Every structure is written in structure tokens, then in C-alpha cells.
Amino acid sequence: MKNVALVTGGTRGIGAAICKALKDEGYIVAANFNSNDDAAEKFREETSIPTYKWSVKSYEQCELGIAKVESELGNISVLVNNAGITRDGMFHKMTPQMWHDVMDTNLNGLFNMTHNIWTGMRERSFGRIINLSSINGQKGALGQANYSASKAGDLGFTKAL
């Protein structure tokens, strides 16, 4: 049986490249996306990798999305937490919504996905979780207090696990 890999934010940019590389290595790949239906459809047509739409910001959507992937493709043995957004702005101009959007996607999304997949991996005594962060989580960046904080949180989360 082949290993199933799920990549969040998997239909564009780095996520799309990760999906393609995993497929080339023989994995059965599922690509999660949240908002760009046209890009996801184009990605699916070009790669034949199935796409699944849900927001990693929602614990319940992650739970349902993971269950759907597993029912269609098999147990997930590799999770790549790649989904991430920016809402850049100087701190004095940053709104609470800008802060929460980034934290909810970049940090809480990591928890939502990992927590919903963790039990199955433990029960099967196998699993790999790859969390993407950013150098800005280590050094910070002007206009990215929210992004830098979320990516620093990703690093701490990964080290703690």
C-alpha cells in the first residue's frame, strides 16, 4: 500500500511544488486549498492530484476534510502543514482582524490539522508531520509583527512535539 500525503495550501506556490515532488516519489497526494477555486482546478487538471477545499482556520473543517481524504485515498501517513497567509502592515496600522487572520491560519491551522491527524498516526505507529515556517519567525520583519509571531509559534510548536 502506498503512503498518502496531505499538503495544506497545496495548489499554489511552495505547496504545489511539494505536492508534485511527493507524487514523483510515489506518494498518493491530496492537496488542500481554501479560497482560489480556479487555481485549484487548474492544478488538479495539470497534475491529476485531487484537491480538497476547507479552511485550516476551522478545527471542524479540518476534522471533516481529513476524514474525507482518508475515506477516499486511505490513511494519511504524511502531513505537510504549508498553508499560510500574510496581512502585512506597520504595527500601529495593524488591525485586530489582520492579526487574527494570520494567527488563525498560520498558527492555529497548524494545531487544527495536526491535532486531527495525530491520533490516527499514533494508533498506526507511523506518521510524518512537516511544518513550514519562515526565517522571519526567527528574526522578525518590519511590517510583519503578526506573520513573524505566527511563524515563531510554528517553530515552538514543532520543537515541543
Active site (catalytic) residues = 147
d(CA 143, CA 72): 42
Return the bridge partners of 81, or none: 131
Q: Which long-range contacts (CB under 8 A, 24 or more apart) does 42-50 make?
A: 43/10, 43/11, 43/12, 43/16, 43/19, 44/11, 47/16, 47/19, 47/20, 47/23, 49/10, 49/19, 49/20, 49/23
Residue 106 grid coordinates: 498560520
Alpha helical stretches, state H, 74-143? 96-102, 109-124, 136-139
